[in-house]
Structure 1
Amino acid sequence: MIKAYIGLGANLGDALVSLQQAASELSATPGITGLRLSRFYRSAPVDASGPDYINAVAEIHTRLPATDLLAALQVIENHHGRLRPYRNAPRTLDLDLLLYGERVINTPELTVPHPRMHERAFVLRPLQELAPALQLHQGTLSMLLQACSDQILSVVPDQDHKA
């Protein structure tokens, strides 16, 4: 089994409900077990415009190859009406494979570790919640969070974040 981390985000429709449903769908996906979900966070779009995002990170254990896991994530996104009209467009659901064990993958379809996760507080904070000792190639999560301290995050209140 491989431990993987998935970034979840949405800023269209009922984003919180979409993320909760996506976490349940991830948990029910054959080949995925032991899903743990961070709290949900609200953040302004980075390098984009539109409504605020709701974000979280899920930790899973999987026996799916990375490309099959990516395909499963895309099925869930499509189920939630995900469109890709242009880069960084607002979205009903975004599921990003952040880490897949210790593996480094660089193909036209998939880059792992996710190439911009170390610059995104909305990924780093929930990731730190799940794996505080985790260190990325670029540094510790605390150090990386300090570098993006200008990105404001707030915890979404009154939530049941257990998938």
Structure 2
Amino acid sequence: MIIRKGNLNDLTEMKRLFTDSITSVCKDDYNSSQINAWKSGAENEERWLLIMETQLVIIASIHGQIVGFCTLETGNYIDLLFVHKDFQRQGIALKMYIFMEQEATIRKEKILTADVSKTARPFFEKMGFRIITEQTINVKGVHLINYKMEKKLN
């Protein structure tokens, strides 16, 4: 597996991975209307271009195929962390997370934060994050529960 910096050429595949992951990996934690509202975020081209322009974007690839991506905003906020539906539980999220935590440490950040889905919560807890608050967010008129989480860095 290779971890590299993402670029605009990755965007189409990143958005496909985003929607496929939400559709298949999160189906036990969210109902179909919640999943459809959440994955509709892939259609917000302006937001995706802003992510590519302003955030640290890393790509995990195996044999040239993107199997995961993660973004770090303003040095200490993990905005997106997604692993391809066919590559779950292979340590890909862990490797990307470790990369981002090291990057935050290099930047002398004291805390990492993330808004985390029900599906991703166990992973983030395993990484040492704690829940600050449960949130109900409104996406296109549909309510979804997620968690504001943080981890203090050494």
Q: TM-score, normalised by structure 2?
A: 0.28
Q: Which structure is higher in helix share?
A: 2
Higher share of residues assigned strand: 2
> TM-score, normalising length from structure 1?
0.27
Larger relative contact order, structure 1 or 2 (CA cutoff 8 Å, min sep 6): 1
